[in-house]
Amino acid sequence: MKLLAFETATEACSVALHVDGQVLERFEIAPRRHAELSLPWAEALLAEAGISRRQLDGIALSRGPGAFTGVRLAIAIAQGIALALDRPLLPVSTLQVLALRAPAEEDQILSAIDA
């Protein structure tokens, strides 16, 4: 499985590439620079992994909640790539992803961000 993922819902900008169990990523706290960083990072990750865009199986993105402009940016980038490549789009809740980092033995988890 080869997935390219974008997270721009908060002040942090991240792009990750999952290639058959290996994850390559770029991350930076970069307020108002997400549009500038996202696509160059995606190209760099694909080059680092030695794969082309056509080899991707899908495009993932954080669908929020989060900053309105950031969420719209991730949707626009991911939807554009997915449409151009005829690949599925995989929206993921920002809060659910944050909650996944909690210890497995916890019964209740509260996930929150400053949106």
pTM summary value = 0.92
pLDDT along the chain (115 residues), means of 10: 96 96 97 96 98 98 93 96 98 92 86 82
pLDDT at site 115 = 63
pLDDT at site 31 = 93
CA dist 39 to 6, 80, 115, Å?
A: 9, 11, 23
pLDDT at site 29 = 96
Can you tell me whether residue 2 is helix, strand or coil?
A: strand
State the alpha helices, DSSP H only, in the chain.
34-49, 68-85, 94-99
Whether CATH 3.30.420.40 fits 2-99: yes
Domain residue limits, the chain: 2-99
